[in-house]
Amino acid sequence: MEKFASRALLAFFLIFLTLPPAAYLLTGDQSFSETENRYLAQFPAWSPARLWDGSLALSLETYLADQFPGRSFWVRVKAAADAGIGKRDIGGAYLGRNGRLFEKKDRPPPELFRENLAHLARLAESSGLACTFLPVYSAATLYPEDLPPYAPLLPERRLLTEIRAALPPAVLMVDTWPALAAARAENIYFRTDHHWTQTGAYYAFRALAAEKGWTAPEQEPRAAGTPPFLGALSAQAPLPWLRGDEFPLWDEPAPVGIEIYVTDTGETLSSPYVYVNLSKKDLYTVFLGGNYSEIVIRTAANTGRRALVLKDSFAHALTPFLLPYYDEITLIDLRYFRPSLSAYLAERDFSEIYFIYNITWFAGDKNFHRVSE
């Protein structure tokens, strides 16, 4: 009996030692994790220098962790276990009430916020163009009662007051708070993504239209006909009981001969909606295809107006509503845009500039200094 137990124990350890390597060989490397919505580390390149400085060992450790067999299953198990013991910060997302996840954000450094304000004010004054600042609130500001206990609520209303005070009087500030707060009961922010829905963007556009003297079209969204949307925050906290959101899409703007050029890829689109992305996990990429350094949209609206939009990804869901009012709209994402913006402005005949940013992201944006270059 004792001999049998020893052999069984030996067999167990042999299986334990050989099964993971065998699984690695059988499954092969994965390039992308649908569960975590990110690219996975690949086998690192070897060099004597990397071996000597230790970076090869670190890269190999990351590779083995990312390519561990059944990783997606174990990531879900860990997230559920963390939630089960009462943790509310899971993978960098706060687990809130009513099935809502919130993006975990650090308080922006005050000095960086002041620098970004100075850069914005300097560009607004030096450009000589009409400028509009359209701030976007975070979901936590609209739904603070759903935050878990002790989760910090960043003071976006106060930050906006500081932005308003720092901007030149000629800059049009469109505060979207009244419109969004009045529509809180509607599906204006995704529960498992940090973005607003296009319904939220529509209410912000109506606030902009009122300030501009435009007549905003009375519309209703339509369901995109996709499975429930589980957004980027659900990739950070992949809990099995999360419910996805309906993904609303609004009708495309009246036909204005739209041509959209994506500089990064050289691709030309005929619609602000990339419908093929409705089959992807990240449905938000339906709006303009995702994040790019420069997107140029030309229309046949014949308004004589050409707008430059400095923005983050919240602007993507709002952009389709702007198309009937401009002959050309150029969207710039400073995270990826490298040319000198001052030279870029000098070469192009823009009639106005928009700044469309999430308030907290703007306050902590380490790339905004590029507007002064």
Contacts of 120 (CB under 8 A, 6+ apart): 133, 163, 166, 167, 355, 368, 371
Q: Where are the domains of the chain?
A: 2-95, 108-372
Q: Where are the alpha helices (DSSP H) in 94-155?
A: 110-127, 139-142
> What pTM did the predictor assign?
0.84
**Nearest residue to 351 via CA among 296, 301, 308:** 308
Confidence at residue 4, expressed as pLDDT on a 0 to 100 scale: 55
Over its length of 373 residues, how does the chain's per-residue pLDDT go in tens digits? 556 556 555 555 555 455 555 545 555 666 666 655 666 677 677 677 776 777 767 776 676 666 666 666 777 777 778 788 888 888 889 999 999 999 998 889 999 999 999 999 999 999 999 999 999 999 999 999 999 998 888 999 999 999 999 999 989 999 999 999 999 999 999 999 999 999 999 999 999 999 999 988 877 777 667 788 888 898 888 888 888 888 988 887 766 789 999 999 999 999 999 999 988 888 999 999 999 999 999 999 999 999 999 999 999 999 999 999 999 999 999 999 999 999 999 999 999 999 999 999 999 999 999 988 8
Fill in the DSSP letter of residue 92.
T
The rounded radius of gyration (Å) of the Cα atoms in the chain is 24
Confidence at residue 16, expressed as pLDDT on a 0 to 100 scale: 46
